[in-house]
Amino acid sequence: MSNQRAANDVLSIAYVERQLFARGPHVAAEPSLDRITKAMELLGVPQRDYRCVHLTGTNGKTSTARLVEAILAESGAHTGRFTSPHLTSITERITIGEQVIDVPGFVSAYTAVTESARQLDAALPDKLSFFEMTVAMAYQAFREAAIDVAVVEVGMGGQWDATNVIDADVALILPVALDHTEYLGTTTAAIASEKAGIIKPGGVAVSARQSPEVARVLKARAAAVGARIFVAEEDFFLHERQVVDNGQRITVRGLHDTYSDVLLTLRGQHQAENAACAVAAAELVLGHALDTHAVRSALARVTSPGRFDVRPGTPTVILDAAHNPHGARALAATLREGSPCRTFAVVAAMADKHVEGMLRALEPAVDVIVCTRNSSPRSLSPADLAWFARQVFGAQRVHLAPTVETAIGLAKRFAAPARHGCVQSALVLVTGSVVTVGDAMRVVPAPAPSAESTDLSP
């Protein structure tokens, strides 16, 4: 009976996923919240039943959402989280109580939203999109689970993103850089203006450290709508940071208290800064100082799959979903902190991304690059990617492979210890897209739960 039930669950998820993707992308010709607003009204506005931290920014949204979620959960809140895109299973987009929603819950949310969608599809010129459906499903699932606080990641932009149908208690804006320029604007100020749309009248906002032009836009938006804004390195601070074998130790001076000598298992300066933002956001949504033990427990256990995701072995494999120059720079900086003797990168990127900028950001930290393609039809071909790579790395450092799996195999052979005389500090890096990392996860096993953290230092 259990095997039959499992088979039915797989069939249900496969069917639901096909139906959702058949609705098309979440980028409409004319930006509007009308469809998602009407859908939520038909569902009884479930997004009003819980508090919310709403996150936007160019990079770091998923990791920071996980950090906020963990801190709130350790503080006693019953949480829900919505993030996108997913890595290997569509159910990853919705979590309840820090656990990926189960199949019956996911199918139930889809069924509830589909009833509303049928009415709207018949009445409106444009049907609900894939993304609008998944947002509505998440908000419905959160109500069904009677959560206290939702942690919601914007899909793209902010002002016109379907998630913005919620009036969040705290808007959290992570670093803003150039990405999705065809939709959001060609300057960081223009992109910041779109992302600032999640700051609501009379609300509260938290901002990461930003460039001066972005900071001006965010502060102007807050002033225009009568919102309070708290800014990293002005109102709250990352005081200390020390790289250790199993991550980094940080001290954060929040808005209500200082949290000292906290182990953060996520690696990199950018993740330490994300953690400081998460602390400030959690303090604001709860309205008081956090319990230091809760902060320490949360940050010591939080993971972010596909974000400097270390898979132990010989060689060690690191999966990172960096997909724009800003993310690639953070990745390169984190790699250099580990000081591997050589790094062999597998890269597959989408054709609409700033590929050359990503490669130039990675080059100082990468010795050899294997160009491939991922499973998305939007993927740049290995030959086209290699053309860009040769401009940056030179021909001798560039190789091609037809798939992510074969590229990982080739990179592992290059990283064999006999070739360069070191074992533990030779790395294979897989990066360029969330889809690329998702493909790699099907090839490179995750460490066992009891596995010790890998030391990346020489």
Express each pLDDT in 107-117 by its tens digit: 999 999 998 89
Say if residue 3's pLDDT is above 70: no
Q: 458: closest CA among 367, 349, 340, 360?
A: 340
More confident of the two residues 28 and 206: 206
* Predicted confidence (pLDDT) per residue in 61-81, tens digit: 999 999 999 999 999 999 999
**Mean pLDDT in residue range 320-325:** 92
* Predicted confidence (pLDDT) per residue in 136-172, tens digit: 999 999 999 999 999 999 998 888 999 999 999 999 9
Say if residue 407's pLDDT is above 80: yes
Report pLDDT for 131.
94
Report pLDDT for 458.
35
**Mean pLDDT in residue range 164-183:** 83
Q: 196: closest CA among 188, 379, 360, 97?
A: 188
More confident of the two residues 451 and 130: 130
Report pLDDT for 179.
56
Domains and CATH numbers, the chain: 2-301 (3.40.1190.10), 309-441 (3.90.190.20)
Say if residue 26's pLDDT is above 90: no
> CA 273 to CA 290: how far, in whole Å?
18
The listed range with the strongest mean pLDDT (1-10, 138-147, 242-251, 324-333) is: 138-147
Confidence of residue 421 (pLDDT cuts 50, 70, 90): low
**Mean pLDDT in residue range 387-404:** 97
Judged by average pLDDT, the poorest of 183-197, 206-220, 307-321, 358-372 is 183-197
Are 222 and 228 spatial neighbours (Cβ–Cβ below 8 Å)? yes
Report pLDDT for 178.
62
| 204-to-223, 227, 281 alpha-carbon distances in Å | 11, 5, 9
What mean pLDDT value characterizes the chain? 90
> CA 149 to CA 359: how far, in whole Å?
39
Six-digit token string for 168 = 């969040």
Report pLDDT for 185.
60
**Mean pLDDT in residue range 224-250:** 95
Report pLDDT for 411.
95
- The pTM (predicted TM-score) of the whole model is 0.90
Q: Report phi then psi at 439, rounded to 5.
A: -60, -45
More confident of the two residues 214 and 425: 214
